[in-house]
Chain A
Amino acid sequence: EKYGLGRPALPEEIAAWDHDVSPDGTGLPPGSGSVEDGEVLFSDNCAVCHGEFAEGVDNWPELAGGFDTLDDDDPVKTVGSYWPYLSTAWDYVHRSMPFGNAQSLSDDDVYAIVAYILYSNDLVDEDFVLSNENFLEVEMPNADGFIIDDRETTEYVNWRAEPCMTGCKDSVEITMRATVLDVTPDVEGDEEAAMEPAEEPVVVAAVIDEALAAEGEAVFKKCKSCHQVGDGAKNKTGPHLNGVMGRAIGGVEGFKYSKVMGEAGGVWDDATLAAFLAKPREAMKGTKMSFAGLRSDEEIAAVTEYLKTFTE
């Protein structure tokens, strides 16, 4: 029975949403990208979480290495060591990455980034160019590492039996205790303990160098996956940056700062921000911000000027 509801989907609409790519290459658009281009793109778009060499930052996934670890006590599952299909990497980068700015990469960019991920796994040479033409030629090391769910024969047949009710074992000993590990969060909820802004914000000069701020907007793309500015800016991975200049360091209410940031004291101004943005993890050891730092004083000056245009 049909109800005559809905309307036909237009070809343009299907094209706009149907992006999935299958292991046999179905869905791959024409295009190509080199390891060389991929390295630059990876550094700009991916390295903040995945590391410059795809080694992973903090708890973010590592994408390279881990070969021959799958039967270890602590397997390292990366694109190289674990993923059975290259299509999965292309599909995921294309549809879902970068985190916070999904679907912003061109098809060629995606080919280049995937080529670089292969290179960082030593699966291709530095002059490799990945394209829809040679896509299926790449061999994934763990392609044969998977079996289809076999619980029916390895588990269910054995575990469908009338269970023991009395005298099921001779004795029972406690062999491990959760309190020894002590990894459970404090249920009293004091992690939100108020972090008093240390000082009154200072007044920020209102004169903006518009040209410099425009340059800063371009630089800010590196920050956007974690920080929001402008109307309706919210705390994301990082705190919102409206009015950051002159704001108490660690001063956004409701944002969970690292301990070091929360206790730093002081105010964000040209000097403190410049020091932080040059080498975040050196300037503030223990910061949750995993960004490696801006490359030049010019970039820092530009992004600082750009941030000054957003008041609280």
Chain B
Amino acid sequence: NTPDPLITEVQDWAAGLGDGVDATPYGLPIDYESDVVRRNVEWLTADTISSINFTPIHALDGTITPQGCAFERHHSGAIDLPKDDYRLMINGLVDTPLVFTYADLERFPRENHVYFCECAANTGMEWAGAQLNGAQFTHGMIHNMEYTGVPLRTLLNEAGLSGDMSGKWVFVEGADASSNGRSIPMEKALDDVLVAFKANGEALRKEHGYPVRLVVPGWEGNMWVKWLRRIEVMDGPVESREETSKYTDTLEDGTSRKWTWVMDAKSVITSPSPQSPIAHGHGPLVITGLAWSGHGAITRVDVSKDGGITWETARLAKPGEKMALTRFYLDTDWSGEEMLLQSRAIDETGYVQPTKAQLREVRGLNSIYHNNCIQTWHVKPNGEAENVEVS
């Protein structure tokens, strides 16, 4: 055995000096991690201004997604909107239409919540079969942050809701050129929707809607309007472009579902996976992944190594939280055998994540959105993994 020179020889970092404080007043990841970045798939959209990229979930652990690598979805680009120029209007069926400044928002009692935000199209490319080779690309339209903000209910009360609000809606709209607007039933608006201005403790990043975005727990990401500028209380839904021509799910007979807001229970193994192959030899192996449900907390995750013939229950890093990512681990032993890795999430309603076949039986192949199928990675004897589909 040769002694390890990294131990026996004095290394530069052990003899010389490192950076002083303030070398990077707001830090970035160290160079060695420079491959852990959002990535897009150029052929998916016409232009990056109106496009999507993907969180590098294959390289992250824990549950909180750093803002700097949390997936982006813009319809007219990420705009530059200074805090001082920010205005939020509440109008429509309220006692007094109001305008708030950013400073006003900071004076309301605020709350902290961790929630996942998943694009309805996440995993949408898998409807037709195994396509993109990596968890980042198949499942990376998701992030999970701790939000600080004011309940929408508080702001609506400030403007005054009189009379019977059952059956009423709010229309929420962004300040960017796409003026992305979505209709939300009043029941949800008064429940857990948050008008957020901080994420993971820091100001929202520009690409996540600085200075203020909407947080709609458990519901599809398109409703989490960024650069939120207007909330209108209305008698009915607007049926905007984003809730008719998009974000509706076409079934096999050509009929389309609308108002499919909730993101159903789902999970994916983030490592090993195509971008995160097994790089070590035989012996202990940590299989890990993420699970989430828009209906509440994750209660259990099962993992299969043989493509779904047998399952074992994984360990949750901590008990599942409502509408937030849950990290699971299967601490196992690998002796170089091929594996067909799958994970299956179960939420507090007892819902079990379906297979691709189950989903296709109900929805056909063209619904684009809400694909929460069980994903399969084929791990080979050399440790490499590939996105495959199995019988």
Interface positions of A (Cβ within 8 A of B): 1-3, 5-9, 13-14, 17-24, 49, 58-60, 70-71, 73-75, 77, 79, 82-85, 87-88, 91-92, 95-96, 99-100, 102-103, 145-151, 154-156, 159-161, 163-169, 171-179, 181, 183-185, 187, 189, 191, 236-237
**Contact indicator B97/A14 (Cβ below 8 Å):** yes
Which chain A positions have C-beta within 8 A of B179? 19, 95-96, 102
Residue contact B311 to A159, C-beta cutoff 8 Å: no
> What number of A-B contacts does a CB cutoff of 8 Å give?
257
> Which of these binds chain A: B3-11, B13-21, B128-136, B279-287?
B128-136
Q: Which residue of A22, A179, A183 is within 8 Å of B239 (Cβ)?
A: A22
Mark B352-391 against chain A: 1 for CB-CB distance below 8 A, else 0: 1010001000100110000000000010000000111111
Minimum distance in angstroms from A264 CB to a CB of chain B: 20
- Residue B337 interfacial (CB < 8 Å): no
Chain B residue with the shortest CB-CB distance to A70:
B254
Q: Do residues B98 and A159 form an inter-chain contact, with CB atoms below 8 A?
A: no
Given the interface contacts A20-B240, A183-B131, does A147 sit within 8 Å of B258 by beta carbon? yes
Choose one: A2, A83, A163, A236; the contact of B344 (CB below 8 Å).
Answer: A163
Chain A minimum-CB-distance residue to B230 = A17
The docked-state distance in angstroms from the alpha carbon of A74 to that of B364 is: 12
9 contacts between A and B (CB under 8 A): A59-B47, A75-B254, A82-B245, A95-B179, A102-B178, A164-B311, A168-B310, A174-B340, A191-B42
> What number of B residues sit within 8 Å (CB to CB) of A?
100
What does the 1/0 interface line of B86-122 toward A look like (CB < 8 Å)? 0001111000111111001001100000000000000
Q: Can you list the 3 inter-chain pairs with the closest CB atoms, starting with the nearest?
A: A71-B254, A70-B254, A172-B307
Q: Contacting B275 at CB < 8 Å: which of A77, A96, A187?
A: A187
Which residues of chain B are within 8 angstroms of A2 by Cβ–Cβ distance?
A: 157-158, 160
Q: Which of B40, B96, B245 has the most CB of A within 10 A?
A: B245
A-side contacts of B261, CB under 8 Å: 149
CB distance A21 to B390 under 8 Å?
no
Partner among A7, A18, A96, A165 whose Cβ is within 8 Å of the Cβ of B230: A18
Asked whether A6 lies within 8 Å of B99 as measured between CB atoms, the reply is yes
Flag if A148 contacts B99 (CB, 8 Å).
no
What per-residue 1/0 map shows which CB atoms of B240-265 lie under 8 Å from chain A? 11001100101011111111111010
When the two chains form their complex, are residues A99 and B50 in contact, meaning their CB atoms are under 8 A apart?
yes
Report chain A residues within 8 Å CB of B40. Answer: 185
Taking a contact as CB atoms under 8 Å apart, the answer to whether B354 and A173 are in contact is no
CB distance from A66 to the nearest CB of B (A): 11
Partner of B158, one of A6, A173, A236: A6
* B:46-103 near A, CB below 8 Å: 46-47, 49-50, 75-77, 89-92, 96-101
Q: Which residues of B contact A18 (CB under 8 A)?
A: 91-92, 230, 232
- Distance to closest chain B CB from A174 (angstroms): 5
Q: Is the CB of B244 within 8 A of A172?
A: no
The reply to whether the CB of B333 lies closer than 8 angstroms to some CB of chain A is no
Closest B residue by C-beta to A20: B238
A23 to B147, CA, bound (A): 34
